[in-house]
Structure 1
Amino acid sequence: MPRVELSPLAWLDDVEQQRRAAGLRRSLRTRPPVGAELDLASNDYLGLSQHPDVIDGGVEALRTWGAGSGGSRLVTGNTELHEGFERELADFVGAESALVFSSGYTANLGAVVALSGPGSLIVSDALTHASLVDACRLSRARVTVAPHRDVAAVEAALAERSEDRAVVLTDSVFSTDGALAPLRALHDVCRRHGALLLVDEAHGLGVRGDGGRGLLHEVGLAGAPDVVMTTTMSKALGSQGGVVLGPQAVRAHLIDAARPFIFDTGLAPAAVGAALAALRVLVAEPDRARAVLDHAAALAEVCGVAETPQSAVVSVILGEPDVAFAAAVACLDRGVRVGCFRPPTVPAGTSRLRLTARASLDADELDLARRVLTEVLSTVRA
């Protein structure tokens, strides 16, 4: 009998059917140019991705330095523009130094792996970003996952460790619900036990703290010698890329040891130029950070969310994934784009709409959001 050839990827058909049955199949959806619909889904918190100064900053860098950096930053990918941005951002948030990576994801991978390793302990919040989760897996350190925002659990893990070095990982603002980490309490625990605190400020920069300097700055931990901050240039700064900020010794070590820095092509100059221009807009217009929180509060009230948001994120829990997805589609059909978070991004039974406020929302846009969200949510909650 002829042999039946079975594709080594045939198992993907079964996986796809299982995802469809669970309402968890994902697909890419193209979007029209900015302005065709009201965007309450992106992380462009300050509305700077379309700011003329930011666009001009990217264009000028493109014309000066070219489309790509041409190699890793240790070869040809390092420019005066990269280092100038690092200096200005470090000065803004109160850090001693900064180092730009090609994305926030690679910044977290590089920082965590290079600052931990075999013979060390990592204690990570259960709801840290996927990039920090992957960094833990790559670190070869012993990893303990602490319950969400549970300072006592972090202290217990540190107290019983046998390793010489320990790193505690947390987001400053958690991306799915916008909750704030107890940074001051975590730092107190870290200092008592000689651990490093590494904080991902991706959703804190530009929103929390004096003029948007971040939650670390707000709670008085900016520049602390036992704190490392990571962040992204793709949210409040409206561009692309990631940064690690902290003591000068950390920057020097990452240049020598962080594989995503050493072996990755340097961030394109246009992205750096745009981010630098965005940072300067934020410095000149510090009220943008306050406007984000004001608009988030308005959106939360419309959606019947009881707690006042502490960040740009407004989480509207609807339960099952098909309900949340249908609500997101209904909003888009009415001209408002919202995020839809389903498992495994969020726990089962907590699928939700994730709305993000922008500093640049105007009265007409808020009125549109109010009309659409009221109509859609009244229907799905009936």
Structure 2
Amino acid sequence: VILAAHDAASKFGFGSTGSPLMSGYTSVHQELEFAMADFLGYPRVVLFSSGYLANLGVAQALLKREDWFIQDRLNHASLIDAAQITGAELKRYPHLNNQKAEDLLKADINRFKLWATEGVFSMDGDSHDLFIAALSAHTYNAMLWVDDCHGVGVMGDKGRGVLDTMTLSQAEVPILSGTFGKAFGTAGAYVAGSDDLIETLIQKSRTYKYNTALPVPVVAATLKALEIIQTEPWRREKILELIHLFKQGCEQYGLSDLAKFTNSAIQPIMLKTEAAALEKSAYLKQCGIITTAIRPPTVPKNQCRLRITLNSELESEDIDVLIQCLIGNY
């Protein structure tokens, strides 16, 4: 990945010179868009400079003031901010509560509704039942948008994320977005959808038209990262093994009441108070383990936690050390 970025920098320079519609779009950008579309199983993909800008751009291009933007209460701040800049009416439902979401879909049936949820929630590691969500969206003529930053590249047999694990496609989820800053290890973001959707974003998204394009070295590095994701499934298999070992260790040493077990690489340890989270995070750092203490406003009051994130570079011995540190026995 580093070598790919180096080679591209030597050939193209490091800066991208302008916005995609001016001078910032190259054949390398196009190659990544085509490769991501093929990988995800969508007709077309467009690149954005960051996940935040992608989410703002999608909402701004699709929503008008009289529309409804339906969201999970724990959606990322970028999706909340996206509702604010569009002027659309933000309607939020309790976390993962499909019935409450469906109640919103039923109301005012003639109003356009964009429904956004995360594939894997960044601070909880859990997921909506997207099969049920897709059925609800189809029934009540809403457009479903899944932001799968923490799923694509890590989850599913082919690494296509949460949709891969639930055997879903563009037919059920018309808009799929994500970032390259997580499993890909680079930077930037993408939105996948139909030809019409992507062309609409290119023409109407201000965060696409008026923002500097991704530097070519970053795009080239992402292409190489995508190749690794597709050709080295052992990385995903290893993460599944580490998740199992983590859960097993927590159960063995009495941490089950604190652990919020998930099927993703994100495994929260609930410590409630800020003091407890900060103290445990500092202790783990002394042990050589980096785990951020998550506090309000990122999470609700009295839901402070450690956010354990597992990756394929870890070994079973690392999980053993982590468990011993969590119980204060290291």
Name the TM-score class by shorter chain.
Answer: over 0.9
Query: Are the structure 2 counterparts of residues 225 and 176 from structure 1 closer, same or farther at C-alpha, using a change threshold of 3 Å?
Result: closer
- 2:144 alignment partner, SS class: strand
Map 1:337-348; keep pairs closer than 5 Å.
337-348=290-301
Pairing 1:74–2:27 present: no
Name 2:234's counterpart in structure 1: 287
- 2:292 alignment partner, SS class: strand
Q: 156, 161, 165: which is aligned to 2:108?
A: 161
Partner Cα distance (1:161, 1:64) in 2: 55
Map 1:1-382; keep pairs closer than 5 Å.
54-161=1-108, 163-224=110-171, 227-303=174-250, 304-305=255-256, 308-375=261-328
1:331 aligned partner, one-letter code: L
Q: TM-score, normalised by structure 2?
A: 0.94
CA contact under 8 A between 1:300 and 1:309: conserved in structure 2?
no
Q: CA deviation at 1:297?
A: 3.0
Partner Cα distance (2:243, 2:172) in 1: 33
Query: Are the structure 2 counterparts of residues 148 and 297 from structure 1 closer, same or farther at C-alpha, using a change threshold of 3 Å?
Result: same
- 1:210 alignment partner, SS class: coil
Q: Name which structure has the greater RCO, CA cutoff 8 Å, separation 6+.
A: 1
Q: CA deviation at 1:225?
A: 6.8
Q: CA deviation at 1:321?
A: 0.3
2:273 aligned partner, one-letter code: E
1:353 aligned partner, one-letter code: L
Q: CA deviation at 1:373?
A: 2.7
CA contact under 8 A between 1:229 and 1:246: conserved in structure 2?
yes
Equivalent residue pairs, number? 324
1:142 aligned partner, one-letter code: E
Q: TM-score, normalised by structure 1?
A: 0.81
Partner Cα distance (1:217, 1:141) in 2: 31
Q: Deviations over 1:352-376 (max 9, x none)?
A: 1111000121244334323333327
Partner Cα distance (1:271, 1:161) in 2: 44
Q: Deviations over 1:135-178 (max 9, x none)?
A: 11112112211111111111111111255321101001111110
Name 1:20's counterpart in structure 2: none
Larger Rg: 1
Q: Deviations over 1:294-321 (max 9, x none)?
A: 2133234434236642101010001100
1:213 aligned partner, one-letter code: R
CA contact under 8 A between 2:260 and 2:268: conserved in structure 1?
no
- 1:75 alignment partner, SS class: helix
- 1:148 alignment partner, SS class: coil
CA contact under 8 A between 2:14 and 2:215: conserved in structure 1?
yes
Partner Cα distance (2:195, 2:277) in 1: 45
2:214 aligned partner, one-letter code: L
Partner Cα distance (1:289, 1:117) in 2: 40
**Structure 1 runs of 4+ with >6 Å offset:** none
Gaps of 5+ in 2: none
Q: CA deviation at 1:350?
A: 1.1
Query: Are the structure 2 counterparts of residues 118 and 325 from structure 1 closer, same or farther at C-alpha, using a change threshold of 3 Å?
Result: same
CA contact under 8 A between 1:121 and 1:161: conserved in structure 2?
no
Q: Deviations over 1:53-81 (max 9, x none)?
A: x1112112211221110110011110111
Partner Cα distance (2:176, 2:264) in 1: 18
Partner Cα distance (2:173, 2:128) in 1: 17
Partner Cα distance (1:179, 1:273) in 2: 31
RMSD over aligned Cα atoms: 1.7
Q: Deviations over 1:230-260 (max 9, x none)?
A: 1000000000001000111111001100011
Partner Cα distance (1:173, 1:90) in 2: 20
Query: Are the structure 2 counterparts of residues 307 and 352 from structure 1 closer, same or farther at C-alpha, using a change threshold of 3 Å?
Result: closer
Q: CA deviation at 1:217?
A: 2.7
- 2:102 alignment partner, SS class: helix
